[in-house]
Amino acid sequence: MGPLAGVRVLDLSRVLAGPWASQLLADLGADVVKVEAPGRGDDTRHWGPPELVAGEAAYFHAANRGKRSIALDLARDRDTLLALVDCADVVIENFKVGGLARFGLDYPSLKARRPELIYCSITGFGQDGPWAQRPGYDLLIQGLGGLMSITGQPDGVPGGGPVKVGVALVDILTGLYATIGIQAALRHRERTGEGQQIDLALLDVSVAVLANQAMNYLATGQAPGRLGNGHPNIVPYDVYPTRDGHLILAVGNDGQFAALAALLGEPGWAQDPDFATNAARVRQRHRLNALIAERLLARSSAEWSAMLEAAGVPGGPILALDALFALEQGAVRGWVQQVQRGEQSLPTLANPLHLSATPVCYGRASPALDGDRDSVLRDWLGQG
């Protein structure tokens, strides 16, 4: 019985952004019914190897925990779909703009039928504008939306060039914004009885999360470039070589820099006008980074990590996933949970929300295709 218990979500979305939102809603207690194409289902069921269970890619299980699945054809099963809409509080869809109109499943049609319905539309470029009809995929959006222009090594150095983030970050962030918008719309409906459409575009999200980089541009008119692992506004904040690998330093203020300087055997750096303030260090970025890198080569990453922790300087190693999931911190925080599908117990990544009164429930694994038809028709439509 999570905080969204009693909320019914009809999920017509596929791949990642929409399913990420509906998974989070399911984690919080909503009853989520995932509508899939008969015979094949969500594309991500086939985005493998690897597979988590036979015939189902691990990718699918990353975004569909806690839901029930029913396979319906938008044309042939339109009456059943409309009946499910009549029972839903929220509809989530990520079809091309206007793609659901011919089935009478677009927002104007459903608003006329149920004014209280909350309808979340996720597209690449939004419901209007000259690019509205374009398809949008995360890699494309990371490029168009500015992220790749600030991610990667600068031109002219080894490995230089734009690089995407290692996961489909814009899709995931769009799913989070969708969840926030849906909860805001539910609160509005509690007060007024009115539903609404939530129009979310991947490109809009990509622009919104440019954060300080976009504000740097708006303040100066100068487009920021790629700095590798460096930070445009803070120095030292980068990855440095050590005797046996690499080390992250994330020095956020002058006090931390003074502690680092002492640790490196250079306490005078904290009084040097070229290094004493963050603004000075940003101006002397390349010189200071070279000096730090030279000194860090004297010890191993593990040695430096322990010394940094003792000195109160933020820093540490870069972990591969096998090392990450071996950490005691992950065991204590519960990063991996087990969920059930019939007699099978399957691993899933934990929801990071730790709610003291209404904890996340991990009662149901990602569904088998059409595996919940009978229960959905019974619970929502009273059939059977």
DSSP class of residue 95 equals P
Q: Which residues are catalytic?
A: 171
Cβ partners under 8 Å of residue 293, min gap 6:
240, 241
Residue 302, judged by CB atoms within 10 A of its CB (0-12, 13-18, 19+), counts as middle
Spacing of C-alpha 261 from chain mean position: 36
- Cis peptide bond prior to 50, omega within 30° of 0: yes
For the chain, where are the alpha helices, taking DSSP H only? 17-27, 58-61, 78-87, 107-113, 138-144, 169-192, 202-208, 211-220, 254-263, 278-283, 285-296, 301-311, 321-324, 328-333, 373-381
CB 223 within 8 A of CB 272: no
Q: Which two tokens stand for residue 227?
A: 């700095």
Which contiguous run of DSSP H or E holds residue 197?
strand 196-201
Q: What are phi and psi of 341, to 5 degrees?
A: -130, 100
